[in-house]
Amino acid sequence: MSGSIWVLIEDQEGIASTTSLELLSAAHHFASEVVGVAFSKDGERLAKSLEPYGLTRLYNVEAERSSLPGVVLSAAMADLVKGSAEPPRAILCAQSYTGRDTLARLSVKLDLPVLTNVVNLFEQDGELMAEHAIFGGEEIVTSNFTHQGVRLFGVRAKSFAVEESDARQVAVESVKVEGLGAIDGAKVVASYSEERSGPKLDEAAVVVSGGRGLGQPENYAMVEELAKLLNAAPGASRAIVDAGWVPYAYQVGQTGKTVKPNLYIAVGISGATQHMVGMKGSKNIVAINKDKDAPIFQIADLGVVGDAHKVLPKLIDALKQR
Amino acid sequence: MNIAVCVKQIPDPAAPGRLDPNTFNLVREGKLVMDDSDSYGVEMALQLVDRAGGGEVTLISMAPNGETSGLRTALAMGAAKAVLVSDPALGGSDALSTAKVLAAAILRNPFDMVITATESTDGYTGTVPVQIAEILGLPAVSFAKKVTLDGNKAMIERQSESGYDEVACELPAVVSVTAGVVEPRYPSFKGIMAAKSKPIETLSLSDLGLSADQVGAAGAREAIVSLRKAEARQAGQIIEDDGEAFAKIIEYLEQLKVV
Ligand SMILES: Cc1cc2nc3c(=O)[nH]c(=O)nc-3n(C[C@H](O)[C@H](O)[C@H](O)COP(=O)(O)OP(=O)(O)OC[C@H]3O[C@@H](n4cnc5c(N)ncnc54)[C@H](O)[C@@H]3O)c2cc1C
Ligand SMILES: Nc1ncnc2c1ncn2[C@@H]1O[C@H](COP(=O)(O)O)[C@@H](O)[C@H]1O
């Protein structure tokens, strides 16, 4: 319980991302002090949203807004660690775009390794132990560090529950990074949002996902219709994201979103390990697939061996009549 | 336009994976193949060089056992040559050591861009590309879903949590590309024949000026301490659709109070 843990706080439209809150909640179990580091336009507003979570301080990095967050955050963290008499015990980042970029650069700056894809942390003989799932979540590996420096962890979304802590004011401290040179040569010139209305994929209580078994892009409309009827978020396998049927924001799995809804309905999805790691934690799973040997049936609570083009229209009609 | 493309050679992903019960390293027996994720980077690089009207694509790979079959596949697609770092001391390398080795290998040839996949199929740390960039002191754009050139800049559409960002990036730079960024070509018969005589430079650690204690299991400074089976999810009820399966689904939804 000794020492501090720093958490990368990702600012999403002015407030902390849910995954950042998950990491803050986890950090309290292993540290006497939890500190946030962010790259926010409005550090005070972000700090306000963090008051229920018990952190003492928020370092907010000041740099050109168009810089990639990973570049400025890693530079700030490295400076802070090197300049600190009591460096943190560990730094936790989400296994997100910004989190990965930050950890990658930070690990080089501090010459320290990173443990990635962490799904659980615990303490043993005073050491932080990290678990991560391999082979599609069939086996769990436990790892630790054998060096003396700061422990760097990349943690997957939905690994920890969000828990409020002793509410307190969060002191915001500005950190300037300047003169980054060539590494800062990439600039965001515009941002586009592809999200649609309805519940968010990683927060919805029900998710309906479609895969290549739908046959054609037009058929994804059935998934959307079913989702609407169930107040669910529509999702997808990577196969149909890669094929351009739906935007990447819909992807569930290792390289997409991790979801843990009350109900997950998989239509025409085979159940590749990389898909399953993203949805295996769902409370209840329904799968519709015409191949009775599809791996998805091994984890389904209700498996329907059948043609999606026959089952879905009937299901949709019946739900509409209710 | 010269592009270095990192190509990882991995055990056949269709074969079930296994960790050595003593060392906990991934068992890498038999022939290795090109990681499918890297075929997108190879294709992207070939197209960019083609559009720039000159230059070549050099493959960069690190593998403990001198394996070249995966590299031959990428050479058959059209890459000009390959640099392979192979040394028994590389076994058990973590992402940071891997990045150090790849960065040193990349520096052997002039380049305007380094392309990688966003994450490897067997390791999937997703940190190697940006670690390479930091070691080389370069900008990096990870998760690129579209790459075009505009003078001495790359214009990149980069995936974001909610959609995508348009990023303008000075060159040289490291770019990690997602699957689906381009459609990888199949090697032609001519390409496969030509690949047999394309040069693969094989280097040891000392050729790169790196010592064995910086890499491999010795340099990793992290260790797997145990391995266990995850709690298996019990398969539930499986029914064949006889035309009425939809009713069974509705019954189940009612049970869960979803409807
Ligand atoms: C590094 C890496 C990361 C990856 N990350 C992800 C990820 O994040 N998410 C992800 O999803 N995948 C990911 N993948 C890809 C994954 O390996 C699979 O290729 C992908 O999940 C397959 O998608 P699918 O199930 O839609 O397609 P397929 O595997 O082609 O399966 C289609 C299924 O539909 C069934 N079907 C066909 N016709 C019908 C019909 N009429 N009615 C009902 N069923 C039908 C078939 O029986 C089959 O089971 C990743 C792969 C790699 C290498
Ligand atoms: N041993 C390797 N040889 C060549 N390229 C690699 C190697 N390891 C990682 N890479 C590249 O870096 C990407 C990300 O790897 P990882 O960080 O392991 O997920 C891979 O998809 C490859 O493009």
Residue A17 sits in a domain of what CATH number?
3.40.50.620
CA–CA gap between residue B22 and residue B225 (Å, rounded): 10
User: Is the Cβ of A262 closer than 8 Å to some Cβ of chain B?
Assistant: yes
CA–CA gap between residue B181 and residue B184 (Å, rounded): 9
Ligand 1 binding pocket includes A278 (Cβ within 6 Å): yes
Atom of ligand 1 nearest to the CA of A296: 49
Phi, psi of A46 (to 5 degrees): -60, -45
**Residue A79 DSSP class:** H
Confirm whether A273 is domain-assigned: yes
Q: Do A210 and A178 belong to one domain? A: no
Tens-digit pLDDT string for chain A (322 aa): 469 999 999 999 899 999 999 999 999 999 999 999 999 999 999 999 999 999 999 999 999 999 999 999 999 999 999 999 999 999 999 999 999 999 999 999 999 999 999 999 999 999 999 999 888 778 899 999 999 999 999 999 999 999 999 889 999 999 999 899 999 999 999 999 876 778 989 889 999 999 999 999 999 999 999 999 999 999 999 999 989 899 888 999 998 899 999 999 999 999 999 999 999 999 999 999 999 999 999 999 999 999 999 999 999 999 999 8
Q: Do A24 and A142 belong to one domain? A: yes
Confirm whether A124 is domain-assigned: yes
- Rounded (to 5) percent helix, strand, coil in chain A: 30, 30, 40
Residue A243 sits in a domain of what CATH number?
3.40.50.1220
pLDDT number for residue A166? 86
Contact B61, B176 (CB under 8 A): no
* pLDDT tens per residue across span B212-221: 888 888 888 9
What is this structure's pTM?
0.94
Q: Do A156 and A282 belong to one domain? A: no
Q: Do A165 and A216 belong to one domain? A: no
CA–CA gap between residue A210 and residue B232 (Å, rounded): 24
Probe target for ligand 2 pocket from B6, B32, B57, with the most ligand atoms within 8 Å of CB: B6
Q: Do A177 and A124 belong to one domain? A: yes
Please, what is the average pLDDT of chain B?
A: 93
CA distance B221 to chain A (A): 5
Q: Do A211 and A173 belong to one domain? A: no
Q: Do A17 and A151 belong to one domain? A: yes
Confirm whether A200 is domain-assigned: no
Q: Do A38 and A174 belong to one domain? A: yes
This model of the complex carries an ipTM of 0.94
Confirm whether A120 is domain-assigned: yes
| Structural domain for A221, as ranges | 206-321
Contact A116 B227 (CB under 8 A): no
Contact B178, B196 (CB under 8 A): no
Cα-to-chain-centroid distance, residue B244: 45
Structure tokens, B202? 């094989």
Residues in chain A with CB shorter than 8 Å from the CB of B130 are 70, 100-101, 104-105
Which strand (E) or helix (H) includes residue A93? strand A90-94
Residue of B nearest to A256 (CA): B161
* pLDDT tens per residue across span B138-188: 999 999 999 999 988 999 999 988 889 999 999 999 999 998 889 999 999
Confirm whether A195 is domain-assigned: no
CA–CA gap between residue A75 and residue A52 (Å, rounded): 28
CA–CA gap between residue A173 and residue A43 (Å, rounded): 9
Q: Do A9 and A154 belong to one domain? A: yes
What is the per-residue burial (b if ≥16 Cβ within 10 Å, else e) of A88-122?
bbbbbbbbbbbbbbbbbbbbbbbebbbbbbbbbbe
Confirm whether A194 is domain-assigned: no
pLDDT number for residue A124? 96
CA–CA gap between residue A44 and residue A60 (Å, rounded): 9
Confirm whether A305 is domain-assigned: yes
| CATH number of B2-219, picked from 3.30.300.30, 3.40.50.800, 3.40.50.620, 1.10.10.1100 | 3.40.50.620
Confirm whether A198 is domain-assigned: no
Probe target for ligand 1 pocket from B121, B239, B240, with the most ligand atoms within 8 Å of CB: B121
Nearest alpha carbon, ligand 1 atom 39 = A213
Contact A186 B169 (CB under 8 A): yes
pLDDT band of residue B240 (cuts 50, 70, 90) is very high
Q: Do A8 and A77 belong to one domain? A: yes
* pLDDT tens per residue across span B28-64: 777 899 999 999 999 999 999 999 999 999 999 999 8
Q: Do A83 and A122 belong to one domain? A: yes
Domain's final residue, options A151, A184, A217: A184
Residues in chain A with CB shorter than 8 Å from the CB of B133 are 104-105, 183
What is the count of structural domains for chain A?
Answer: 2
Q: Do A221 and A265 belong to one domain? A: yes
Choose the mutation target among B10, B127, B178 for the interface with A, i.e. most A CBs under 10 Å: B127
CA–CA gap between residue B116 and residue A111 (Å, rounded): 22
Q: Hey, where are the domains in chain B?
A: 2-219
